[in-house]
Structure 1
Amino acid sequence: MNDYVIGIDIGTGSTKGILADTRGTVVAETRRMHDTSFPKPGYAEHDADDIWWADVISICQEFAGRLDGHPLAGLTISGIGPVLLPTDEHGRPLRPAILYGVDTRSAREILDLSDRLGRDSILQTCGNNLTSQSTGPKVLWLRRNEPDIWARTKMYFMAHTYCVYHLTGAYVLDHLAASMCDPLYSPFTHDWVPGWLEQIAPGLQMPELKWSNEVAGHLTADAATLTGLPEGTPVAVGSVDAFVEALSVGVSEPGQCMLMYGSTMVAVNISDRAMIGPDLWSCSGLLEGTTNLSGGMSTTGSLTTWVGDLTGGGYAELTEEAANALPGSNGLICLPYFSGERSPIADPDARGLLCGLTLTHGRAEIYRSALEATGYGSRHLLETMRDAGCDARTYVAVGGGTTGGLWPQIMSDIIGITQQIPKVTIGAAYGDALLAAMATDHADTATRWNEIDREVAPNPGNQELYDECFLIYRGLYSATANYMHALANLQV
């Protein structure tokens, strides 16, 4: 009888769970939908107990009833990140969690820390410039704007580590997630930066650093009662969702790149050495001996959802209409900066734009332009990665957006790459299950559970048009950035 493993991924809009055996066969899947709070423009938050912890308990309870006598080898959780959840000494949240780069409230702190510590010094120490993706400026924002909460803050968590703490009592953070806490950690030393840590987060107890496939702790008696899972079950450290999703499709070796189609678009390039990427994210890897150069757009799948909500169209209906629209959306280009932008422009005050609208354009062209915007933004991101020294040779596409044929084809046409689509596109929860198997010696770092199902090659007939549109896309931001910023200042 094969052992089972559980993988749970806490996303922006839902939490997904996978029950699999230790050979990678999926036994059961489940999902819990939840909402993200946007209390102000530039603010994005989650309630840690009502969303993260409640979803994890519910999924564990469901899977506890599906074990059917099979031993449970282990459990891993991944989640959105980097996020900032301040808690007291007992791990009780003091406010809602401040989310990753889609939350842009710390713009002033980014400038202040960059000036105080020195941009070049930050770049050489952390591999990155400070952006809305960085946790350090958000810590400083909390100190300045909510001093009463900061005074009571004794620990801080991300989505996965908060749940790990309540399952096991272990206060840990994986090296990869820590490396997104710029400027508090260095991927070149795989450790905290002591002087800067004391300046930015004085008195804050830092979590123990571990690799994502290590055991963080074991299920406590109280957690076993809540979840229905066996007491003592090993719980792996886990990590940030996009990187675990890369592992789920076998992207773990230098020269491989994952493109994740989700509420946001994330590209992850695997490397054997830490690199400097001024407009990117230079991170430690999930597994010891690897690093990542990556980046992410802020608004992709969430933008297509917005178009659907605005126009009253469903996904299948809009996709069919967009497929019948002309490539280039009949001269319509969308800048997808509806929540600012992360990589590579790192502009929290960038705003969305539809350029070229006429009375002949309908929702088909608008929806297609949103899909094409992801292609233009991803091309910009991947070209920036190549300029930084990343030599990707294989591109694997994952996420819900790959299940239909239109979006991946548009991406390949615009970027000029062939994408491999794996058989299993469940996402990070499947990679979590693999991490659980690794942590309990049921798999190793060479284990591959997933196979490639098909490839999407670029259509050469669209290359010239999309090259021209991409140049316009790049020029539009430069031409309108000042106006975007002025409008951002007017928004409440």
Structure 2
Amino acid sequence: MIDDGPYLLGIDYGTESCRVAIFDLQGHPLAFAATPYQTRFPHPAWAEQDPDEWWLALQASAHRAIAAAGISPAAIAGISYDATTFTLVSMDAKGESIRPAIMWMDNRATAQAARAEQSDSAARLVNNGGKGAAPAEAFPFKAAWLRENEPDNYVRAAHLVDAADWLTYKLTGEWTTNIHSNSLRGYYDRARGGWPADFFAAVGADDLLDKVPERVLNVGDQVGTLASIPAQLLGLRPGIPVAQGLCDAGAGQIGLGVVAPGDMALITGSSHVLYGQMTSEIHGEGFWGSYTDAVVPGQYTVEGSGVSTGSVLKWFKDNFASDIASAAEKVGLNPYDVLNTQSADIPIGSDGLIVNEYFQGNRTPYTDSKARGIMWGLSLAHTPAHVYHAIQEAIAFGTANSLIAMTDAGFGPTKMVACGGATKSRAWMQMHSDVTGVPIALTEVGDAVVLGTCMVAAVGAGLYTDLGEAAANMVHQIDILEPDADRHQEYGFYLDRYRRSFPLMQRLIHEVVDHEAAKH
């Protein structure tokens, strides 16, 4: 048994599973393990998960990862973690969850978010330059919804925290909140005094700060050490340094080495997220930020994001290609590889079929929780392969749409570094480059999210001085995809129609969403 180490253990609470990974200090993976859990959708635009299932999934994944790595638990020198954000967890005074967690993608708090438009708080700057609608998935709106619709649960909640901060407590017994999640989705801004109490009051959460942990820690700060009971449950030794974690996309950004000004990360998965680092703040319509100190102290982060990207492809696979998926899995193939092969010859523009991927609302550039998906241009000549291909194009178009908004405000990347599920398809990544016109770099470890958590763990354990040093030693770029000029020009026609279609349908979509909501 290898014992010398040191090794790092990263925990990733994604939308579909809890993953545990073990890396060495050079960024080489030893083992991965994942355990799924269920998402429940009790009403349209709602999404919930059970924190007790999260905890059991972590225990299972940790034991399997350690066994697969073939190392002694004593060789683990640091731990950190990420989770979806902002996933609201309501905890009582004893540290027990009160109700199912309200997931990051949940958009039930539209009425509470709408109140933000009446506020003149400086906090509004982080969203579309203060001009657009606020995202219903953000922390204060979900908390206000809970206060108004489940008052008993709200009163019982001694702590309202993001999923990453729930895990902080489970591992260490410490109540903290991380600057990353709360800068991105909690309107926390250290440069403007921290929490915007006036903004919280304006949206119906005037007592929210009574339920928020006082300690706001930077990414990589040592929170404490692994407590005895969780150490026993996870098969680890007590006393391992635990570093303050962050949201999953932010961990992916770090795992791609995007920690210096001018860099841009493209994190793909159930959603797509664009993160860029800057030396000074900018604000504008169609993107979120700037966020002060969100990743690296002294820097600012801008964000573009799609709520439902990979999740729409999964929706198609599960509901319209279940026969393909079943047959592929029986012979050990990835269903998406089969679907990619079947749609490989579909031309640019999918023979006139254009899809809008806003199945679960839109983050940027519209920040519209009532947005829904659109398919148009269908003909009797179209096949399921066309629909699948058009969804892939839609996701690339959505990425380009957010990049255009950032570029208009003064931040135009010359390169993106990508990770996540989409990078498993080189053709789809090439499509992203062709549509956006931006080169896309790929790194040695495609699963940058868990690598990022291990980099954070290394900093928290004192093995590297900061994230920049960790990136220099643990992130290794291996390839770059250059955009094809001719294909970029051809995609321009369809991108323009994609961008014009949603604003034309937006009012009608809202009317239908409101009509359906009135039934519940």
When the two structures are superposed, what TM-score results if normalisation uses the length of structure 2?
0.89
Aligned pair 1:437/2:458, yes or no? yes
SS in 2 for 1:86: strand
1:108 Cα deviation from its structure 2 partner: 0.7
1:453 is the counterpart of 2:478: yes
CA distance in 2, matches of 1:385, 1:168: 39
Of 198-207 and 144-153, more deviation after overlay is shown by 198-207
164, 177, 180: which is aligned to 1:176?
180
In structure 2, C-alpha distance between the alignment counterparts of 1:246 and 1:180, rounded to whole Å: 14
Gap regions ≥5 residues in structure 2: 325-334
Report if aligned partners of 1:213, 1:287 keep a CA contact under 8 Å in 2. Answer: no
Query: 1:56 aligns to what?
Result: 58
The residue number in structure 1 matching 2:236 is: 229
Deviations 1:416-457 (A, max 9, x none): 111001111113111101111111111232222121111111
2:349 maps to amino acid: G
Shift of 1:482: 1.7
CA contact (8 A) 2:8 2:25 kept: yes
Partner of 1:308: 317
Q: Is 1:288 the equivalent of 2:297?
A: yes
Structure 1 Cα separation of the partners of residues 28 and 193 of structure 2: 34
- Which whole-Å deviations, capped at 9, do the CAs of 1:190-226 have from their partners, x for residues lacking one? 6222444566241623221011111111111112221
Match of 2:84 among 80, 86, 103: 80
Percent same amino acid among aligned pairs? 26
Cα contact 1:9–1:429 (8 A) shared by 2: yes
Q: Which amino acid aligns with 2:194?
A: D
Q: Are positions 1:347 and 2:354 aligned together? A: no
In the TM superposition, what is the alpha-carbon distance from 1:340 to its structure 2 partner?
1.4
Q: 1:427 aligns with which of 425, 445, 448?
A: 448
Query: In structure 2, which of residues 139, 145, 161 is the aligned counterpart of residue 141 of structure 1?
Result: 145
Could you tell me whether the CA contact under 8 Å between 2:74 and 2:236 is conserved in 1?
no
Structure 1 or 2: larger helix share? 2
1:360 to 2:362 alignment: no
Supply the distance in 2 between the matched residues of 1:58 and 1:343 (Cα, whole angstroms): 36
Partner of 2:332: none
Alpha carbons 1:133, 1:180 under 8 Å: kept: no
The amino acid that maps onto 1:123 is R
Distance 1:15 1:478, change over 3 A: same
1:416 pairs with 2:437? yes
Q: Which residue number corresponds to residue 486 of structure 1?
A: 511
Q: Which residue of 2 aligns with 1:267?
A: 274
8 A contact 2:18–2:35 mirrored in 1: yes
Q: Which runs of 5+ in 1 are unaligned?
A: none
Residue 144 of structure 2 is aligned to residue 156 of structure 1: no
Q: Does 2:127 match 1:106?
A: no
Alpha carbons 2:255, 2:449 under 8 Å: kept:
yes
Q: State the alpha-carbon separation in 1 of the partners of residues 73 and 100 from structure 2.
A: 38
Q: How far apart are residue 132 of structure 1 and its match? A: 2.1
Distance 1:7 1:426 in 2: 11
Deviations 1:159-218 (A, max 9, x none): 2211120111111111111113444x2253362224445662416232210111111111
Aligned to 1:94: 98
**Aligned counterpart for 1:202 among listed residues 203, 207, 225:** 207
Distance across 2 between alignment mates of 1:58 and 1:164: 18
**CA displacement at 1:295 relative to structure 2:** 2.1
Cα displacement (A) at 1:288: 1.8
CA distance in 2, matches of 1:270, 1:261: 18
Cα distance per residue 1:237-273 (max 9 Å; x no partner): 1100101101101111111111112111110111123
Shift of 1:405: 1.5
- Say whether the 8 Å CA contact 2:109–2:137 is kept in structure 1: no
Greater CA drift, 189-198 or 71-80: 189-198
CA 1:392–1:240 in structure 2 vs 1: closer, same or farther (change >3 Å)? same
- Cα distance in structure 2, aligned partners of 1:267 and 1:338: 19
Please state how far the C-alpha of 1:122 moved relative to its aligned partner: 3.3
Contact 1:188 1:274 in 2 (8 A): no
- 1:45 paired residue among 48, 55, 66: 48
Mapped partners of 1:241, 1:175: distance in 2: 14
Which residue pairs with 2:328 in the alignment? Answer: none
- What is the alpha-carbon root mean square deviation over aligned residues? 1.9
Alignment CA distance shift 1:364-1:404 (3 Å): same
Q: Which moved more, 1:357-366 or 1:439-448?
A: 439-448
Q: Which region of structure 1 is more displaced relative to structure 2, 335-344 or 188-197? A: 188-197
Distance 2:420 2:373 in 1: 23
Looking at structure 2, the residues matched to 278 and 463 of structure 1 have their Cα atoms a distance apart, in angstroms, of: 25
- Shift of residue 349 of structure 1? 1.4
Q: 1:197 to 1:359 in 2, by over 3 A?
A: closer
Distance in 2 separating the partners of 1:242 and 1:190: 25
2:157–2:211 CA contact under 8 A, matched in 1 = no
More deviation in 462-471 or 325-334?
462-471
Give 1:154's aligned amino acid. A
Please state how far the C-alpha of 1:147 moved relative to its aligned partner: 0.6
Out of 68, 71, 79, the residue aligned to residue 72 of structure 2 is: 68
Other structure's SS at 2:79 match:
strand
Count of aligned pairs between the two proteins: 487
State the 1:125 CA deviation: 7.6
Task: Pick the aligned partner of 1:241 from 248, 253, 264.
Answer: 248
Aligned partners of 1:441 and 1:415: how far apart in 2? 39
Q: In 2, are the aligned partners of 1:5 and 1:73 still within 8 Å (CA)? A: yes
Measured against aligned partners, the alpha-carbon deviations of 1:11-38 in whole angstroms (never above 9, x if no partner) come to 0112221111223221111111222111
Q: CA deviation at 1:278?
A: 4.3
Aligned AA (1:55): A
Contact 1:57 1:227 in 2 (8 A): yes
1:33–1:373 distance in 2 versus 1, CA, 3 Å: same
For the Cα contact (< 8 Å) 1:213–1:286, is it kept in 2? no
2:7 corresponds to: 4
Q: Normalising to structure 1: TM-score of the pair?
A: 0.94
| Secondary structure class of the residue paired with 2:80 | strand
Q: Matches of 2:22 and 2:143 in 1, distance apart?
A: 36
Partners in 2 of 1:114 and 1:403 — Cα distance? 40
Residue of structure 1 equivalent to 2:21? 18
- d(CA) in 2 for partners of 1:225 and 1:56? 13
* Counterpart residue identity of residue 271, structure 1: M
SS in 1 for 2:184: coil
Is 1:469 matched with 2:494?
A: yes
Give the one of 346, 350, 368 matched to 1:329: 350
Q: Is the CA contact 1:168–1:217 (under 8 Å) kept in the aligned structure 2?
A: yes
Aligned mates of 1:97, 1:401 — CA distance in 2: 27
| Paired residue type of 1:252 | V
